[in-house]
A and B are shown apart, each in its own frame.
Chain A
Amino acid sequence: MAIEFPRVPLGQWIEGGLNWLTSEYSLITRGISRVTQTGIGALNDALMWLPEWALLAIIAGLCWKIANVRLAIGAVAGMLLIWNMGLWEPMIETLTLVVIATLVAVMIALPVGIAAALSERLYRSIMPILDFMQTMPAFVYLIPAIPFFGIGSVSAIFATVIFSMPPAIRFTTLGIRQVPVELIEAADAYGATRRQKLFKVQLPLSLPTVMAGINQTIMLALSMVVIAAMIGADGLGSEVWRAIQRLRPGDGFEAGIAVVILAMLLDRITQSLRKSRKA
């Protein structure tokens, strides 16, 4: 006779917790939602208000300035292809989501990463949380996002921020911890305060690593923003989603290729930003 263990009702607990959070704080979260929605709308409108050629020129100029002519040419070619495929508007929507999600993620990640680098205790307690955030299948975040923020872009950003933040935290911590001990010792020997040490030595020296983390965050944000189409986020993801539902592989690949172009562009731009800084 097998002994029956009662099933641990983990799922019920989590659901209960989430329900409680939703009912208690939905006013606040809905408020946040409305504000964020306005932000998204504004940025999106601004980017859409710009004529296509103007945005192309800005991006080409940016690429040329921080990298080289080759990147500028590649960028223009890629964007022209997206324009040509009629995916300009969804591309702008996706870009908006990525930009906002990354900004929020970095704004949270930098201070947390710095704090974790300076405090061993915080470091140890935060690492498993980061593991959790990164390995939990991304779709799962979408589910509680809906009761909090409703269907649409804000939920997408919420899920994206959670999913894409860990590398920025990790790399910030890593960058600061990698600063050679001798340099910390030198700063100490000359009587630097903690703040002076942080701003004059640790942060400047960890900047390349921090930038690598932000690059990773942008890449993750892009992949998540596409998935977030499932909860009604606009953009290239929803094009793919529609193609799946209508079984139109051609449309799906077109939108997919647009995502790839956008990803490569964002990656190269942030990479060259990192390299152009004096190490």
Chain B
Amino acid sequence: MSENRNVKIRVRNLSKVFGSQPKKALELRDQGLKRPEILDKTGLTLGLSNIDFDVHEGELLVIMGLSGSGKSTLIRCLNRLIEPSEGEIVIDGENIPELDEKSLLECRRRHFSMVFQNFALFPHRTVQQNAEFGLEIRGIDAAERAETARHALKQVGLEGWEDAYPNQLSGGMQQRVGLARALANDASVLLMDEAFSALDPLIRGDMQQELLQLQHRMKKTTVFITHDLDEALTIGDRIVLLKDGEIVQIGTPEEILTKPADDYVRRFIEGVDKSRILTAESAMRRVRATVRDSDGPRTALRKMRDHSLDSIYIVDRDRHLVGLIEADAASQALEQGREKVTDVMTQEFRSVGPGEPLHNLFAMFHDNSFPIAVVDDDKRLLGVVVKGAVLDELAQAAETPQPTETTESVETAPAGEE
């Protein structure tokens, strides 16, 4: 579905070599050499190599990678805070690497607002003046920019702090100022460079939620850099995974988690608390067998035996979920000569919607071990989630060593705000 959305930024064949003779490194790269060999031979660092991706209008694209993966270089190439060595970056028909100095300034003013890891607020300016900065640079008149900045500060919850200086604010509030400065500018793309990484985990969780709400409300095209996969999975519409200056995988959070492109990605996602991101739908299995509400206990018993089940769900003609019957209850009913499964069914099972986060399901298994029914809005049975499958995944995630950089966030990530 995201394929047919408008492309806002098209990045093709983007490479960056740090050092004085980029051509040499690129030639070696084309001969198939990798980053460490190129560094050995030429002393040049291949920061980015052959990067291709699109940023769609209105999406929140996360570029994620560990330190040294080239993610900060990549975001700075977009607005040419770092000069790319080759490739194109096209935004609204303009190829950014080809712009002269004047058009570049114009392009930055029109298209890019940026939020920085360490906030990069101007210490000599008040909160209000910081928020006005982008507008001031663009030469907007004082009254209008004051109004716009005030509005932006209100959006990030900093009303009443206009006259404070940045050093009087906490880290979280400072980054809100950074965000307000970016929002006030009303450029068409928001670049966020590890914007929440310097914040403590609780504040970070709040900021992520707020960003999601803002993003939902304003539909601002956003490129967000992070080293934290949890964060990437939480906020990203799509994720670009970088490793050693190359793209390893591009996909939605679900795609990354369920279809990792290679071992690197697989190892990476093993450290993630998947239950937080995965939904009932992704852990759900097709129901192997059901019985109709008009069936008798004998049918139910046979189906359970055939599929080695301890219990089976009962549905009506339109697959609406009616109840659940256990093997014991079915045999008893047979002995007692009862004719319909509905006579001995139970309602003790739990049912959830497909969007239910997986971690909520653990608690449900606490009460009983029936498979959890996944139903749609009309109560039609879509599938079941069995305890074993969920526990398997949990065990897998807990066992494997986690990539160091994501550890803290996994441990302290706020659980289920909704």
Contact = CB atoms under 8 A, between A and B. Distances in A.
A182 B118 contact: yes
B120 A182 contact: yes
Main secondary structure of the interface of A (DSSP, over half): helix
Contact of A279 (B106, B109, B124): B124
Interface stretch (A22-30, A186-194, A209-217, A221-229): A186-194
A192 B137 CA distance: 6
Interface of A: 180, 182-183, 185-193, 196, 200-201, 204-205, 278-279
Given A186-B122, A205-B123, 18 more contacts: A182-B118, A183-B120, A185-B116, A187-B137, A189-B112, A189-B113, A190-B109, A190-B134, A191-B105, A191-B107, A191-B138, A192-B137, A200-B133, A200-B136, A200-B137, A201-B122, A205-B122, A279-B123
Contacts of A196: 137
A201 B105 CA distance: 17
Main secondary structure of the interface of B (DSSP, over half): mixed
A191 B165 contact: no
22 contacts: A182-B118, A185-B120, A186-B114, A186-B116, A186-B122, A188-B81, A188-B108, A189-B79, A190-B108, A190-B113, A190-B114, A190-B134, A190-B137, A190-B185, A191-B108, A191-B112, A191-B138, A192-B137, A200-B136, A200-B137, A201-B122, A279-B124
Interface in B112-157: 112-114, 116, 118, 120, 122-124, 133-134, 136-138
A183 B122 CA distance: 7
Of all A-B residue pairs in the complex, the 4 with the closest CB atoms, nearest first, are A191-B109, A191-B108, A182-B120, A189-B114
Contacts of B185: 190
Contacts of A205: 122-124
Interface residues of B, number: 24
Contact of A189 (B81, B118, B122, B165): B81
Contacts of B105: 191-193
Interface string B158-192: 00000001000000000000000000010000010
Interface in B34-89: 79, 81
A190 B109 CA distance: 6
A193 B104 CA distance: 10
Contacts of B136: 200
B123 A189 contact: no
Contacts of B165: 278
A278 to B, nearest CB: 6
Nearest to B114: A189
Given A189-B114, A190-B108, A278 B124 contact: yes
Chain B CB within 10 Å, residue with most, of A182, A186, A201, A279: A186
A278 B125 CA distance: 9
B124 A204 contact: yes
